[in-house]
Amino acid sequence: MAELLKKLADLEKLSAPLEPNQDERAHYFQQVKNWSDHYIANIDKIDSFYDKLPDTSKLSIDEKQHSIEELLDIYHTEVTETGIVPSHGGHIGYIPGGGIYLSAIADYIADVSNEYAGMFYGGPGAVTIENELINWMKGVFRFPESAVGNLTSGGSIANLIALTAARDFHGVKNEKVTSSVIYLSEQVHHCTQKALRIIGLEDAIIRYIPLDEKWRMDATILEQTIKQDKAEGLYPFVVLASAGTTDTGAIDPLKAIGKIAQQHNLWYHIDGAYGGFFILTDRAKDEFEGIEMADSLCIDPHKGLFLPYGLGAVLIKNKEALFHSHHYTANYMQDALNEDWPLNPADVSPELTKHFRGLRMWLPLKVHGLAPFKACLEEKLYLTDYFREELVKRGFKVGPEPDLSVSYFWFPVTENENQNQNENENQNESESEFNERLMDEIHKDGRIFLSSTRLNGKYVIRMAILSFRTKKHTIDTCLEMIDRCLERVRN
């Protein structure tokens, strides 16, 4: 026994650093505060894109002890100054995550208290907060009170949960898979194809419905295709619409698609990960008419509410379909079972153990109220207008008027529109090459980050204005950068 007690005492001493004393905690916190204050104060003075890779040797794990000061320096140079800077207002290339300050405070509180947000029995306060956030979003998107939902890590898991519920509601399994039909557009986010593969629907029939001139799904062709598939003995069971596509920001005709889905008994899923929260704005809210018709909806607070990466959401009307996929019990959890308690997040998600991610949304909404979020979203719509108008003044061509804050542009090589088809193909190729060189120069500059895509084979440059730090001066800097880069490419 004496030897055992000595061993325990030795191990307790060796493990003691895991519980820093008050002075040590104060030192750590002060160093982190100093770093974060400096980072935020200077974020407009740094580039939004660094064309360099981190030094792996500085980030590798060893058994040495390092000071917090040293590690903050390493983090700054090897993480924040490599690749895209997502917290920068100049990140207008891919859909940016936010990073508002109070969410960081919320994550700190959640991590210090280490609340469990999977089962009501284990964390009734944390689960109640997450359920109340779901209830609030049900109201925003006009879903019924009986709908259920979950706070996920992002749109990928949200879409996965929704499509799994659709699969199970329609009993699409075994030999039924190969005759079942899924309808979507080529503009759907690629996490959808990943989700379909993961849940065993890779062998289902996937119909890509043509788009109109504004990159929206053509509802007339959708209905015609469904009728034809039914006539051929196939089993249409789900249609996916987008409330803000990643490539062009388009909102599909949600109400028209909803009516078709109801008429033909299809599960109707809407991916609003990027665009959904624009429903809060006066300018764009009417574009979302019909979103309440969805059987399931994906939205990302870490996009449209400017929160840090790692917080998506899914709303689903059919609780039974969702439970079929995710609700399981275990003997060791018998103390946690009570039919009178609220919904457990673990019952509607693949996750059992989960971070209390809801606090990063709850705290900012409670402190700031909703008005600043609405104003920031509205601002992004008008910044998109401003950017497009200034590009046209400079001789650029722009895509159709966007539904939201994603758009695209390119610089034309020639204005002659009377060429024949073959000549037009050659023109598009040379324009694509020219704009690809322009994109390379923009990335070399790095002050503002833009991205590119191909639409019908044509190379174009994308803007995705959503960061809460993106302001008019950001767009002005971007325009000045584009002017310089264009001149270099021309020369």
The domain that holds 440 is classified in CATH as 3.90.1150.10
Specify whether 316 is located in the same domain as 435: no
328 pLDDT above the threshold of 80 = no
CA distances from 448 to 91, 389, 406, 461 (A): 6, 18, 16, 13
The domain that holds 274 is classified in CATH as 3.40.640.10
452-458 contacts: CB < 8 A, separation 24 or more?
453/247, 453/408, 455/215, 455/247, 455/248, 455/399, 455/408, 457/428, 458/410, 458/428, 458/431, 458/432
Specify whether 340 is located in the same domain as 412: no
Given 369, 385, 418, which residue is the final one in a domain?
Answer: 369
What is the residue whose two structure tokens read 């690629």? 190
Is the residue at 211 inside a domain? yes
Is the residue at 122 inside a domain? yes
Q: What is the pLDDT of residue 325?
A: 84
Is the residue at 397 inside a domain? yes
Specify whether 272 is located in the same domain as 241: yes
Average pLDDT estimate for 316-333: 82
Given 335, 369, 403, which residue is the final one in a domain?
Answer: 369
Average pLDDT estimate for 6-11: 93
Is the residue at 255 inside a domain? yes
Specify whether 340 is located in the same domain as 440: no
Q: What is the pLDDT of residue 332?
A: 62
Average pLDDT estimate for 26-52: 93
Given 369, 403, 437, which residue is the final one in a domain?
Answer: 369
Quick one: tokens of 128? Answer: 């109640």
Average pLDDT estimate for 138-163: 94
Q: How far apart are CA 115 and CA 103, in angstroms?
A: 16
Q: What is the pLDDT of residue 447?
A: 94
pLDDT confidence of 345, banded at 50, 70, 90? confident
Specify whether 168 is located in the same domain as 289: yes
pTM of the model: 0.91
pLDDT confidence of 428, banded at 50, 70, 90? low
Specify whether 182 is located in the same domain as 214: yes
Q: What is the pLDDT of residue 370?
A: 97
Quick one: tokens of 466? Answer: 């959503």
Is the residue at 93 inside a domain? no
Q: What is the pLDDT of residue 420?
A: 42
419 pLDDT above the threshold of 50 = no
Mean of the per-residue pLDDT values for the chain? Answer: 91
Specify whether 386 is located in the same domain as 320: no
Is the residue at 198 inside a domain? yes
425 pLDDT above the threshold of 70 = no
Question: Cα 287 from chain centroid?
Answer: 20
Quick one: tokens of 257? Answer: 């698609």
Average pLDDT estimate for 113-140: 92
217-237 confidence digits (pLDDT tens): 999 999 999 999 999 999 999
371-398 confidence digits (pLDDT tens): 999 999 999 999 999 999 999 999 999 9
165-212 confidence digits (pLDDT tens): 999 999 999 999 999 999 998 888 778 888 888 888 989 999 999 999
Specify whether 268 is located in the same domain as 343: yes
What is the residue whose two structure tokens read 């959890």? 333
Longest Cα–Cα distance of the chain, Å, equals 96
Query: Residue 246 sits in which domain range?
Result: 108-369
Is the residue at 23 inside a domain? no
pLDDT confidence of 152, banded at 50, 70, 90? very high
Q: How far apart are CA 110 and CA 358, in angstroms?
A: 9
Specify whether 350 is located in the same domain as 387: no
Percent of the chain with pLDDT strictly greater than 70: 95
Q: What is the pLDDT of residue 426?
A: 52
Q: How far apart are CA 148 and CA 320, in angstroms?
A: 10
422 pLDDT above the threshold of 60 = no
417 pLDDT above the threshold of 60 = no
Specify whether 357 is located in the same domain as 387: no
Specify whether 262 is located in the same domain as 340: yes
pLDDT confidence of 429, banded at 50, 70, 90? low
Q: What is the pLDDT of residue 453?
A: 93
Average pLDDT estimate for 252-268: 97
CA proximity to 267, closest of 369, 354, 155, 184: 184
Number of domains present in the structure of the chain: 2
Q: What is the pLDDT of residue 402?
A: 93
Is the residue at 234 inside a domain? yes
Q: What is the pLDDT of residue 192?
A: 85
Specify whether 235 is located in the same domain as 379: no
